[in-house]
Structure 1
Amino acid sequence: MQTITIDWDHPIDPKPGRERDHVQDYVATGGLDGHLWHGVPTLLLTTFDRATGRTARTPLIYSTDADRHIVLAADWGAPEHPAWYRNLTAHPEVRLQVGGAVFQATARTACPAERDVYWPAMAALWPLFDDYRSAAAPREIPLVIITR
């Protein structure tokens, strides 16, 4: 079995625009500028990109439950799963930045019972998630649980 060396310290950021600006401000200020985005908490998720062999960083709205971070692979209601989700299903080891804290974690797709518990909390945090779910149909938006 071949060992993969992952460069977590030099990820690819989103394409130029608001999302990249958000990520760069978040990193530059240690989360002081960017952790709260439109009044909701965001984290930076870094995944191993299965296509390029590099790491890629994405800002996501999150909630917590004990030591777990919960995110949705909504991609604004797109018909396909976002690249970051496809990456973590192939390689579940990820890196998170939550505010100033940066740490390794493991991601997995929630089971149906967990999805029933966490979806309402995520939609209460960001009501547009329900709109994204309608727009994405018939794709089911994955709910992802990330554990340190």
Structure 2
Amino acid sequence: MSAEPIDSPTGWVREHIDRYVSSDGVHGHEWNGTTTLLLTTTGRRSGEPRRTALIYQRAGEDYVVVAAQGGAPTHPAWYLNLQARPEVQVQVAGDRFTARARTADEAERARLWPVMTEAWPDYDQYQTRTSRRIPVVVLERL
């Protein structure tokens, strides 16, 4: 991914990303009592790099994010992108690296969901808004 990423079209997310990038994660890594990372996927149709900010937690050496989209009936675009192309770019504070993304299996999800809801309790509410099983995604540094 050599081109400049296209940031989330959501205004407040785009502003969050701008602060995060311009401060090398000093502003934006900690957000509303939790931590966020920047995830850059490759567009499954466009081939363009797409960047969004996501709440994360650690699971050993891995990073964990949730494809909640506020409980929308469909998966977020970033999740669909990484399903098609699982190699992603990640920024955690000032640390930038390549990772492989994968959806947690059911046993892993059962273990990681409470970790993520402790970091962001609204995830439980988001799950009640949708009939889809909200995916938990594991990012493994390459």
Measured against the shorter chain, the TM-score band is over 0.9
Unaligned runs of 5+ in 1: 1-5
Aligned to 1:3: none
Write the distance in 2 (CA, Å) between the matches of 1:128 and 1:16.
19
CA drift at 1:53: 1.1
Aligned to 2:82: 88
Write the distance in 2 (CA, Å) between the matches of 1:77 and 1:142.
11
The residue correspondences of 1:99-110 to structure 2 (distance < 5 A) are: 99-110=93-104
Are 1:139 and 2:127 matched, yes or no?
no
Aligned to 1:76: 70
Question: How many equivalent residue pairs?
Answer: 141
Out of 2, 6, 15, the position equivalent to 1:21 is 15
Write the distance in 2 (CA, Å) between the matches of 1:44 and 1:134.
26
Q: Percent identity?
A: 48
CA drift at 1:52: 1.2
Out of 31, 49, 74, the position equivalent to 1:37 is 31
Out of 116, 122, 126, the position equivalent to 1:128 is 122
Write the distance in 1 (CA, Å) between the matches of 2:139 and 2:45.
22
Unaligned runs of 5+ in 2: none
Write the distance in 2 (CA, Å) between the matches of 1:122 and 1:62.
7
Give the aligned residue type for 1:146: L
Task: Compute the TM-score of the two structures, normalised by the length of structure 1.
Answer: 0.93
Q: CA RMSD in A?
A: 0.9
Aligned to 1:60: 54
Task: Compute the TM-score of the two structures, normalised by the length of structure 2.
Answer: 0.97
Residues 49-83 of structure 1: CA deviation (Å, up to 9, x unaligned)? 01211000010000001110000000011000000
Give the aligned residue type for 1:144: V
Query: Which has the larger Rg?
Result: 1
Q: Any runs of at least 4 consecutive aligned residues in structure 1 with deviations exceeding 4 A, and if so which?
A: none
| SS state at 1:147 partner | strand
Are 1:98 and 2:92 matched, yes or no?
yes
